[in-house]
Amino acid sequence: MILFSSENRQGAFEEADGLEETLKASGCDVIKMEWFDAVELHNMIDSAMIRIAGDCSLLIVCLMSHGSRGVLSGSCGGRVTVNDVLHQLTFCLPSDMCIPMVSLA
Q: Pairing between strand 62-64 and 67-68? A: unpaired
CATH number at residue 11: 3.40.50.1460
74 alpha-carbon distance from chain centroid: 12
pLDDT reading at 102 higher than 60: no
Give tens-digit pLDDT for 1-55.
898 888 777 888 999 999 999 999 999 889 898 888 788 888 888 888 887 767 7
**12 neighbors 4 (Cβ within 8 angstroms):** yes
Q: Is residue 100 part of a domain?
A: no
Q: What is the pTM of this model?
A: 0.77
Q: How many structural domains compose the chain?
A: 1
d(CA 29, CA 104): 23
Q: Is residue 14 part of a domain?
A: yes
Q: Residue 66 belongs to what domain range? A: 2-92
Residue 49 CB: number of other CB atoms within 10 A? 20
Q: Is residue 78 part of a domain?
A: yes
pLDDT reading at 90 higher than 50: yes
Q: Is residue 104 part of a domain?
A: no
3-state helix, strand, coil in the chain (%, to 5): 40, 15, 45
Q: Is residue 67 part of a domain?
A: yes
Q: Is residue 101 part of a domain?
A: no
Q: Is residue 19 part of a domain?
A: yes
